[in-house]
């Protein structure tokens, strides 16, 4: 465990800490001596975080925050202001995947996806920025994805939300530079978390086999089952990158975790669209 000096100890708010990357990050940063507000949306998750925080002598504080509920965001940010007087970093990690063909995913499901993965990030960021701007310091760390650079079939809503998050983060980076607030994107490839079990599978939810997209859905499922484990990393690998984003004097603008996250963006920007489509067809074993 590395304990930072008092001046380098940070006050950090993290969303979506019930599992996966959020919990691994909260655990790593609290054990590194930072003060971490580890938040989750379900009361039972907050109770678990509370039990975990007991061993951390006040360095971890569990609280309830649903990124789609403005009152819960305001409550946690007000608490941080009250208890700490400042905030050094927000890690916008909460998110989930909406799967399904563009034609069939209901607009309500589309909206839910953007409410969490994009508007949730905007809502939390808007609440912490007044403090960060007046301090003239702070870091906004957005957990994006390799799919901010590539759109996969049957994952359109999720990929679109991460593309949008990338665009928002780029604008924010320039807007906040005069206030010495840095914006950092975290771009994981496949990571072994609850993400896959939590994916909202439109075709499964629909419960019938008559969709014209059934074959593509099955091809995508078997692709994930074949390939995910081969390249997936543990959530702590992402947590370590977030630790660099928090602690480095001069953090990178993007941290890419896993081999696919490193090579895919280059591939996408250099290959012609039709060749990319063919590669995706070939990977999915579609004729
Ligand atoms: N795993 C991957 O392969 C991968 C790859 C690239 C990027 N990512 C991104 O990494 C981030 C973390 O995902 P993960 O892989 O760690 O998956 P995970 O284990 O499913 O964790 C997602 C977290 O987000 C929370 N969440 C969902 N909706 C929320 C809301 N409205 N308000 C507050 N929290 C909410 C979940 O809470 P509940 O437990 O209550 O649902 C959970 O704590 C996501 O943004 C995801 O898009 C993941």
Q: Give the atom of ligand 1 at the shortest distance from the alpha carbon of 186.
A: 7
The answer to whether the CB of 16 is under 6 A from ligand 1 is: yes
* Residue 222 within any structural domain of the chain: no
Dihedral angle over CA of 59, 63, 68, 73, nearest 10:
-70
* Residue 139 within any structural domain of the chain: yes
- Mean of pLDDT over the chain: 95
User: Per mean pLDDT, which of 171-185, 193-207, 273-287 is the most reliable?
Assistant: 171-185
Catalytic position from the list 37, 158, 223, 255: 158
* Residue 199 within any structural domain of the chain: yes
pLDDT tops 70 at residue 5: no
The answer to whether the CB of 50 is under 6 A from ligand 1 is: no
Whole-number percent of the chain with pLDDT over 70: 98
* Residue 218 within any structural domain of the chain: no
- Catalytic, 96? Answer no
Ligand 1 centre distance from Cα of residue 88 (Å): 22
- CATH code (residue 162): 3.40.50.720
Question: Is the whole model's pTM more than 0.85, yes or no?
Answer: yes
* Residue 112 within any structural domain of the chain: yes
pLDDT tens for residues 159-193? 999 999 999 999 999 999 999 999 999 999 999 99
Whether 103 and 213 have beta carbons less than 8 Å apart is answered as yes
* Residue 250 within any structural domain of the chain: yes
Query: How far apart (Å, rounded) are the C-alpha atoms in residues 195 and 146?
Result: 14
Ligand 1 centre distance from Cα of residue 20 (Å): 7
CA nearest ligand 1 atom 33, residue: 66
* Residue 64 within any structural domain of the chain: yes
Number of domains in the chain: 1
- Classified as helix, coil or strand, 99 is strand
Please give the residue range of the domain that contains residue 246: 6-213+233-268
* Residue 177 within any structural domain of the chain: yes
pLDDT tens for residues 225-253? 998 888 899 999 999 999 999 999 999 99
pLDDT tens for residues 77-111? 999 999 999 999 999 999 999 999 999 999 999 99
Residue 1 has a pLDDT of 47
pLDDT tens for residues 142-152? 999 999 999 99
- Interacting residues of 4 by C-beta distance below 8 A, sequence separation 6+: 10, 32, 33, 34, 247
């Amino acid at each position: 465990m590395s304990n930072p000096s008092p001046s380098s100890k940070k006050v950090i708010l993290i969303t979506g800490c019930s599992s996966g990357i959020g919990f691994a990050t909260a655990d790593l940063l609290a054990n590194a001596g930072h003060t971490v507000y580890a938040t989750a949306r379900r009361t039972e998750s907050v109770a678990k975080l509370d039990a975990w925080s007991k061993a951390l002598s006040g360095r971890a504080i569990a609280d309830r925050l649903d990124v789609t509920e403005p009152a819960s965001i305001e409550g946690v940010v007000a608490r941080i202001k009250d208890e700490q007087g400042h905030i050094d970093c927000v890690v916008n990690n909460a998110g989930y995947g909406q799967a399904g063909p563009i034609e069939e995913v209901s607009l309500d499901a589309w909206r839910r996806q953007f409410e969490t993965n994009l508007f949730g990030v905007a809502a939390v960021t808007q609440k912490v920025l007044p403090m960060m701007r007046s301090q003239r310091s702070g870091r906004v760390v957005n957990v994006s994805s390799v799919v901010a650079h590539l759109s996969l079939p049957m994952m359109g809503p999720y990929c679109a939300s991460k593309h949008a998050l990338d665009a928002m983060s780029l604008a924010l980076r320039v807007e906040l530079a005069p206030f010495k607030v840095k914006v950092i994107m975290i771009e994981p490839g496949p990571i072994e978390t609850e993400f896959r079990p939590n994916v909202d599978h439109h075709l499964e939810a629909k419960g019938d086999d008559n969709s014209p997209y059934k074959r593509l859905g099955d091809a995508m499922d078997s692709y994930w089952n074949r390939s995910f484990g081969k390249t997936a990393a543990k959530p702590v690998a992402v947590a370590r990158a977030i630790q660099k984003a928090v602690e480095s004097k001069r953090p990178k603008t993007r941290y890419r975790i896993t081999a696919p996250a490193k090579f895919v963006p280059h591939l996408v920007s250099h290959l012609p669209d039709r060749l990319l489509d063919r590669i995706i067809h070939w990977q999915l074993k579609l004729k």
